[in-house]
Structure 1
Amino acid sequence: MIQPSHRAWSSIEICCSCGAKMLGRLLLKVSSAAHGLLTYDFCPWANRWVYWVKHPLSFLSLTTIAAIACAIWINPYSFIGVAGALLILAVGYVWPYLSMWGVSGEIEFEQTHCSEGESARIQLVVNNRWPWPVWGLKIVCSSSPQAGLATGEGLPVKKEVWASLASIPAGTHSTFTWEWFPSVRGEYPRVIPCLESSFPFGFQVASRKLQVRNRLIVWPKVWTLTSLLDAIEVFPTAEVFSDHRVGDQGDLLGTRAFRQGDSLRRVHWAQTARHGQMIVVERQASIQSRVEIDLPTDRSVHAGSVDDFNASLNWATRLAASLGLAYLAAGSTVTVRVGQQALTVENSTKGKAKLLDALARVQETTDGRHVGHRCDRRGFHLAIVTDKCVQGMHLPHEVSGRMIVIRTCHEGHCEDQHAHDDACLRGLWLDLNPHLGEQFQREWKRVCHAG
């Protein structure tokens, strides 16, 4: 008997493999065509009349009506089906409320502060007073936009499920802990969280508010800046000294000849005796620089909801926090102007926390007033704005040269030609995207090194 060669077996395997691939592609095309045919909306005008059938309650209602009809015209035993359907409806609607009546709870954050993207540990204590377990619980917290909470507008409310609980044993105090990673700055919870249950059939949702023992403040994410622009020294202090200004405090800078009006306390008597004329000592002057950061909050000049990580107002607060902490570490006094409010802090642990707390609570406004483009205040000014803010505005050179502009139009150019005159182009332009922080670090370093 002649055995097929190894080459023949290889050819057969290749043919079988090609055939299997072709068959798989054919079945995939057939299944895709069948799926498209079965899910195609042939009568979109009738959707509002038939979509209610998708709800489980509609099936039970139709079943009850059919059972009643069968009991009247066919067999009275069909009333058993009617009773069963009504029992399911009653249990589905009543049981969630009955379960929630015997349940209470409180929620607590194990820390009071964290930054965007960092973990926060949450502890939940649930008390079940019923002599039977309670199933199917979840902790729901509304994440409605902060602007809606601030202005009272009827903005859409988004619900966020923090955790789900399989069951709570009968007559117990149960404690649950989990890690939560907030992605957006703010004060949490923004509204009181609730325990919800729709067990067993999901017909009705019953809820009970949780007691909140403390709140969590989520600080804006901060990017480290290794270089800073020179700030103007504006007022004296007893702790910071300048090598470029002469005063009566600090380290010795040098000596010079006596001038009319110099204090005798500054005379260096040894050098005076050596040179045969009055020689005085020059020392450092006590100074401190002031940095003012302007942050417009009008809703019309920002893009995106404040609940969105990539919203322009959230990025503006992150940039303000990064600049504020960097200048505080350099010994400057930082003033942040948000809308019509101003906050001044100095370099200390409490000052940094106060600055971050204020930026975490920044909300959109609708007053349309900005304090950012003024030149009558003393100190070094930075304005963090968007392209919508500078469009159509003739900004002074002193402010536009220190502007940080967030480009929200996602294009290489903006709609208004004033946004690209020479004054605005001298500002630092950043594109609104998830990598804006890294782009800011690179561009800020380049500007600082360029002088």
Structure 2
Amino acid sequence: MLTTDFCPWANRFVYWLKEPIGWFVLATAISVIVGLYLSPIGWVLAASLSAIMVVGMAWPLVAVSVTRCELRPETNCVHEGDACRMLVSVRNRLPIPVWGLSVEGYLDCEGDEAVPTVGLACVPPMCVSDFGITVNPTLRGHYPIQSPSVACSFPFGIWTARRKLSTTKSLTVWPKVYPVQGVCPIIGLTSTDHGDGNRGGRSGDFVGVRDYRRGDSAKHINWVASARVDTLVVTERGGPQSVELDVFVDTAISRSASTTLSEEEQSESVGRERLANRIRMAASVLINLHQTGVPMRVTIGPQSLSLPHGAKGRQQILNALTEIPADGIVAPIQRKRISKHARIEFATDPPGCEVVQVIDPRGGRRAGGRSVTKQIVSSGALAQQIGDFWTEVRDADVAA
């Protein structure tokens, strides 16, 4: 009953009453009427209310006009949940201190009605003062989303004067990255200088010997072993293998059918949390693969990435995942699949559950390929699920 707007058409006529100054204006007008027609005491009340309104409006307007505020983070990039300090620099051009200033919207979240506000106790005269704000962003993105403002309602709080900050530097919040135990167990198809396992070839470490086959080079013939068995024997060598891997990350939010407005809002909240967990798992697995030197083609929604080596590649992965809005991107994934390439897909299955599918065409006992699907349980410990990611895949390979 108290949260229902029965007369939305009348809001434009009574909106000014939402501010305390509106009630003071109304009380002043009533006092004037009382002084004109009933009693002279009304003039005293009108004069007192007018004085309070002048002081209550003049000081906030002067305070925000004579100060110059800047907002910047101490660190340009942080991960979700990590503490970070925001610095507010205020320059006071008055010869007297300024009280009652506050900064609104310094770390606002998209879709949230509550605007974070921090108060500044006192700004000394004729100087520049720095104030530190410790924040813990919980969702990826670039903050603040909207332009923050400096506000003042001192001394009576009947009217608030606001002005946009003169300079604002953005804070980039990367997805949370959890450690992943083990290494990628997917089998490679080509030789490389670094990697896991051994692939037969003409270079690398000694693996064994085998019978001569047509096409083998004469320089690879092991003449000592051939003389012993009276037939041609070739030395077999092998080197590290390179995995050809395609990674797809679905950026669409999963929504469930809802009948009422409250159910729809709850569905959007659950969908945002599921998408956030999907992106955190994708970030953790991608960083793990990139650190181990696994070459891969990454597709995040409609965007395809070409990852360089080192810190630049890691930063490119995190920046691409950070650009995904809280409500996701409704766009088809550009899947350019190659049958011989292994792939990992982070997506949503038809029932609406977050899943990770690992497809290895060269895996399994008989090299017939295998597919392992892992479900991301939002209510469970996400760090534990990510930490055991490769371990569970290996167990599935052994059981195959």
TM-score, length-scaled by structure 1: 0.69
Query: Structure 1 pair 71/225, CA: closer, same or farther in 2 (3 Å)?
Result: same
Answer yes or no: is 1:298 the counterpart of 2:270.
Answer: no
* Aligned-partner residue type, residue 251 of structure 1: D
* Aligned-partner residue type, residue 285 of structure 2: L
Query: Structure 1 pair 212/286, CA: closer, same or farther in 2 (3 Å)?
Result: farther
Q: Return the index of the structure with the highest Cα Rg.
A: 1
2:345 alignment partner, one of 368, 376, 383: 383
Moved more, 259-268 or 52-61: 52-61
Match of 2:21 in 1: 57
What is the aligned-residue identity percentage? 27
Give me the whole-angstrom Cα distance separating, in 1, the residues matched to 2:101 and 2:23.
Answer: 25
Answer yes or no: is 1:114 the counterpart of 2:78.
Answer: yes
SS in 1 for 2:125: coil
Give me the whole-angstrom Cα distance separating, in 2, the residues matched to 1:269 and 1:213.
Answer: 75
Answer yes or no: is 1:431 the counterpart of 2:377.
Answer: yes
Question: Displacement of 1:183 after TM fit?
Answer: 0.9
Match of 2:318 in 1: 356
CA contact (8 A) 1:104 1:128 kept: yes
Match of 2:108 in 1: 143
Question: Displacement of 1:300 after TM fit?
Answer: 5.6
Gaps of 5+ in 1: 1-39, 146-155, 393-398, 404-424
Answer yes or no: is 1:173 the counterpart of 2:128.
Answer: yes
Match of 2:365 in 1: none
Match of 2:45 in 1: 81
Q: Deviations over 1:13-67 (max 9, x none)?
A: xxxxxxxxxxxxxxxxxxxxxxxxxxx98xx979989998785335423432343
CA contact (8 A) 2:180 2:386 kept: no
Q: Deviations over 1:310-341 (max 9, x none)?
A: 62221111010121122233331233322221
Q: Deviations over 1:94-126 (max 9, x none)?
A: 332221111112222222222111111222211
* Aligned-partner residue type, residue 383 of structure 1: E
CA contact (8 A) 1:310 1:433 kept: no
CA contact (8 A) 1:241 1:250 kept: no
Answer yes or no: is 1:314 the counterpart of 2:279.
Answer: no
Answer yes or no: is 1:194 the counterpart of 2:149.
Answer: yes
CA contact (8 A) 2:99 2:154 kept: yes
CA contact (8 A) 1:67 1:79 kept: yes
CA contact (8 A) 2:71 2:165 kept: yes
Match of 2:332 in 1: 369
Give me the whole-angstrom Cα distance separating, in 1, the residues matched to 2:380 and 2:29.
Answer: 55
Query: Could you say what the CA RMSD is over the residues aligned between the two structures, in angstroms?
Result: 3.8
Give me the whole-angstrom Cα distance separating, in 2, the residues matched to 1:136 and 1:305.
Answer: 40
Query: Structure 1 pair 269/442, CA: closer, same or farther in 2 (3 Å)?
Result: closer
Give me the whole-angstrom Cα distance separating, in 1, the residues matched to 2:95 and 2:375.
Answer: 64
SS in 2 for 1:97: helix
Query: Structure 1 pair 314/207, CA: closer, same or farther in 2 (3 Å)?
Result: same
Match of 1:402 in 2: 358
Match of 1:13 in 2: none
CA contact (8 A) 1:138 1:195 kept: yes
Match of 1:164 in 2: 119
CA contact (8 A) 1:187 1:218 kept: yes
TM-score, length-scaled by structure 2: 0.77
Query: Structure 1 pair 357/400, CA: closer, same or farther in 2 (3 Å)?
Result: closer
Query: Structure 1 pair 196/434, CA: closer, same or farther in 2 (3 Å)?
Result: farther
Higher relative contact order (CA 8 A, sep 6+): 2
Match of 1:266 in 2: 220
Query: Structure 1 pair 357/265, CA: closer, same or farther in 2 (3 Å)?
Result: farther
Q: Deviations over 1:53-99 (max 9, x none)?
A: 78533542343234323422455464232122112222323332221
SS in 2 for 1:126: strand
Answer yes or no: is 1:282 the counterpart of 2:233.
Answer: no
Give me the whole-angstrom Cα distance separating, in 2, the residues matched to 1:359 and 1:280.
Answer: 50
Query: Structure 1 pair 298/288, CA: closer, same or farther in 2 (3 Å)?
Result: same
Query: Structure 1 pair 265/194, CA: closer, same or farther in 2 (3 Å)?
Result: farther
Query: Structure 1 pair 159/308, CA: closer, same or farther in 2 (3 Å)?
Result: farther
Gaps of 5+ in 2: 257-264, 360-370
List aligned pairs for 1:100-111, cutoff 5 A: 100-111=64-75
Match of 1:97 in 2: 61
Structure with the higher fraction of residues in helix conformation: 1
